[in-house]
Amino acid sequence: MRILGIETSCDETAASVIDISKNNNITLLSNVIASSLALHAKTGGIIPEIAARNQISHIIPVISEALEKAGISFKPPKMKSPDIDAIAVTYGPGLIGSLLVGVETAKTLSFAWNKQLIPVNHLYGHIYANFISNNSKIENRKSKPLEKIKFPAIALIVSGGHTDLILMKGHKETIWLGGTRDDAAGEAFDKCARLLGYNYPGGPKVAELAEKGNPKVFSLPRPMIGSHDFDFSFSGLKTAFANATKENFPVLRTSSDKVGWKQIILEQINESQKQILYDLCASLQDSITDVLVKKTLAAAEKFHTSSIIFGGGVSANQILRDKFQKELSTKHSGLNAKLFFPPKPLCVDNAAMIAAAAVFQGNETPWENVTADPELYFD
């Protein structure tokens, strides 16, 4: 069975084809992503209207390329029905204009090609990036057998818009345990990077600068790390980071610059200033990852879970991955839980994860009943 996945919740237009074997082993056949990110760099953030317009120009070429790369013949404009069994599409959460492009395209194709349509919650998509067993197309190496994810599991979704902990007793038996009360973890990375003048996505830039830094130099807060719930808060951390940055780089704010912040250009600062920048980034990363590790492992301990599953752009962060690994082999060695991180290209938004989620989570729905829902959350 083959599923065509379509994902357009934000600035990426993505399409992918997966193949599902009888015992639900998933092979990635293609994974195509077009992004309007470069356009948003000028404005320092994503402008929903621009993102939606770009979705419209990208959607058909991206779907067409995903089918072609999967070896499925598809010849627009004739739109002869391709050899797939179903179409999965993200119907929320996200930006309404962007979502509509994917949803309405998927509905049209479902009708025109007479294929099942499976609407998918983007947040579940991030979890199911872990269930694609054969990734040789993106990992550039032979596929490895996927270790089985056992339930109960804890899932941590950490992206630019979400920080959520979910208890999964089974594929369709999920309980939302908690989430962020203000900024998401990725948003904290992005906003702090912005303060240093770096554009979205800020997480990879902070991680890169942090490599040369000492995480213990700035003692930034670990908000809600000791609270007896599974909620998060990152806005106070952002303020603390802003104060520490402004103290060390007093001329950052500039009214003449349209973007509002001067970028700290590494080549233009001296060695000791560079070290401060690296230390700030390392301290920020240390603080965010400490909170994520502590809360997630507390949830895993409370619910005696066998697996801990990660998803979302921040789960690509290597320090986060290393910290979890270290904690499990030292302080939490009694936990007996396995960690599952998606391959890095599948941590960020993509359509393969949407198609995979459709296999385990999705419900086939008549196309007339599928509508975009920007506020969609966990059930």
Q: Is 199 in the site for ligand KG4 (CB under 6 A)?
A: no
Residues 6+ apart with CB under 8 A from 57: none
Burial of 90 (0-12, 13-18, 19+ CB in 10 A): buried
Q: Is 353 in the site for ligand KG4 (CB under 6 A)?
A: no
Binders in 340-369 for Zn ion, by CB under 5 A = 349
Sign of CA dihedral 119, 123, 124, 125: positive
Burial of 16 (0-12, 13-18, 19+ CB in 10 A): buried
- What single DSSP character describes residue 12? E
Q: Is 190 in the site for Zn ion (CB under 5 A)?
A: no
User: What distance in Å separates the CA atoms of residue 90 and residue 205, rounded to the nearest whole number?
Assistant: 28
Least gap, CB of 126 to Zn ion (angstroms): 6
Core vs surface per residue 323-352: b (16+ CB within 10 A) or e: bbeebbeeebeebebbebbbbebbbbbbbb
- Taking the alpha carbons at both ends of the chain, their separation in whole angstroms is 28
Give kind and range of the element (H or E) at residue 273: helix 271-302
Among ligand KG4, Zn ion, none, what does residue 102 contact (CB within 5–8 Å per kind)?
A: none
Least gap, CB of 115 to ligand KG4 (angstroms): 26
Q: Decide whether 286 or 349 has the Cβ nearer to ligand KG4.
A: 349
DSSP of 117-150: EEEEEHHHHHHHGGG--B-HHHHSS---PPPPPP
The one-letter code for the residue type at 344 is K
Which x/- pattern over 277-316 shows residues binding ligand KG4 (rule: CB under 6 A)? -----------------------------------xxx-x
Q: Decide whether 70 or 316 has the Cβ nearer to ligand KG4.
A: 316
Which x/- pattern over 310-349 shows residues binding ligand KG4 (rule: CB under 6 A)? --xxx-xx------------------------------xx
Pick the binder of ligand KG4 from 48, 178, 204, 236 (CB under 6 A).
204
Q: Are 274 and 268 in contact (CB under 8 A)?
A: no
Among ligand KG4, Zn ion, none, what does residue 186 contact (CB within 5–8 Å per kind)?
A: ligand KG4
Pick the binder of ligand KG4 from 159, 180, 199, 296 (CB under 6 A).
159
Pick the binder of ligand KG4 from 92, 97, 102, 186 (CB under 6 A).
186
Total residues binding ligand KG4 (CB under 6 A): 18
Q: Is 210 in the site for ligand KG4 (CB under 6 A)?
A: no
Which stretches of the chain bind ligand KG4, using CB under 6 A? 159-161, 186, 189-190, 201-204, 207, 312-314, 316-317, 348-349
Which stretches of the chain bind Zn ion, using CB under 5 A? 159, 349
